[in-house]
Structure 1
Amino acid sequence: MTTALPIPIEFELPTGWSAVSPEDVGATPLAYVALHDRTHGRFRANITIAGALRADSQTRPARPAGPAELEELGEAAFARLARGAGVTMVQRRAISSHGAPGLAQVVQVSTSIEDGPIDLTQGQAYLHLTDPQEPGRQMMVEVVLTCLAEDSGQLVPQFEEFVASVRPTR
């Protein structure tokens, strides 16, 4: 599937997931949303993708994001979650998808929804992608899985496979 991001990407959606329009689920700022076919009820597992060109993408020579920049993105995402929920960092590590450097982290989130408290797991991945047509154009992509904590053992590995498939469209 190809998404509408500043640099088009493609990926392989795992079996058991279905693409939906971000507008249909009230997620218009996002480029892409997928829902898990077998998680219903209180909370439906989802994968989202957002991205933007790096601010300095056109003003400096192309170079991949360094570990410090990726760590900052991970820390900022963790801090955003912590403002509205109890959060615990489970894992953070460097990753790569088709040669693009990245950072992955898994966070446990305790929060409330309409019918009371809920424990979620969020897998977050940040990938620095370069436009294969214009190497000076670079984008940071945020890929996020949110699921019930009890479903994370099954869904986090699927999410990791999904992230590994993300690449710029050639």
Structure 2
Amino acid sequence: MPTTLPVPIEFRLPEGWLPARPEEFQEPEVAFAAVHPRPDAGFTANITIDGGFPKDGVSLAEIADASVEQLRAFAESVEVVHRREVGSEDAPALTQRLSFSAVADGARHELVQSQVYLFLVDTEDPHKRAMIRLALTATTAQHDEVLEQFQDFVRSVRPDNGARS
């Protein structure tokens, strides 16, 4: 059962990507998942969105470190390949790329996960900051092919204030 995000967001999926059916994604913390239309070597690239309200004073780097440790609980050879803080003081963000080996559908895959962490202000309580994590997981061979689509997706993410034009 998918969870809900701490703040509503809107986004545009890359062309061809499809929302995953809830039964396809059994990660309890995932609020939304989409899948690429063409699997690679039996693994389907996916985009996931999750988030929460971190404790006061917790940095995006600390949240990213915790994410690495969670991944190590079920994957092998987890390595932080790249990490960079981006954004501004008012809208901080962090990107990181992880490489790891994991079993999916009974087969071992060499995978890459690109993660983007965003802090968004809770519109109902501006003193609270919500964290949103956007992640792309793909095989090592397919990652570079789908990365630009993921970057376009990330650029489309915005707080949803309920206004429609």
Gaps of 5+ in 2: none
Aligned to 1:126: 117
Aligned residue number for residue 21 of structure 2: 21
Report SS of the residue matched to 2:29.
Answer: coil
Q: Which has the larger displacement, 156-165 or 101-110?
A: 156-165
Quote the residue 1:86 is aligned against: 77
Superposition RMSD on alpha carbons, in Å? Answer: 2.4
Deviation at 1:93, TM superposition (A): 1.0
Q: How many residues align?
A: 157
| 2:144 is the counterpart of 1:153 | yes
Task: Tell me the distance in 2 between the aligned counterparts of 1:13 and 1:96.
Answer: 22
After TM superposition, the structure 1 = structure 2 runs for residues 1-170 of structure 1, keeping only pairs within 5 Å, are: 4-39=4-39, 42-56=42-56, 69-83=59-73, 84-96=75-87, 100-170=91-161
**Distance in 2 of aligned mates of 1:93 and 1:25:** 28
Unpaired stretches in structure 1, ≥5 consecutive residues: 57-64
TM-score, length-normalised on structure 1?
A: 0.79
- One-letter amino acid of the counterpart of residue 69, structure 1: S
CA contact (8 A) 2:100 2:110 kept: yes
Range moving further from structure 2, 108-117 or 118-127: 108-117
Q: Residues of 1 paired with 2:127 and 2:27: CA distance?
A: 29
Q: Secondary structure at the match of 2:59?
A: helix
The percentage of counterpart residues that share the same residue type is 37
Q: Structure 1 96/39 Cα, relative in aligned 2: closer, same or farther at 3 Å?
A: farther
TM-score normalised per structure 2:
0.81
What displacement does 1:165 show? 2.0
Instruction: Label 1:134 to 1:78 Cα distance change in 2 as closer, same or farther (>3 A).
Output: same
CA distance in 2, matches of 1:73, 1:106: 14
Q: How far apart, CA to CA, are the structure 1 residues paired with 2:54 and 2:63? A: 12
Q: Secondary structure at the match of 1:7?
A: coil
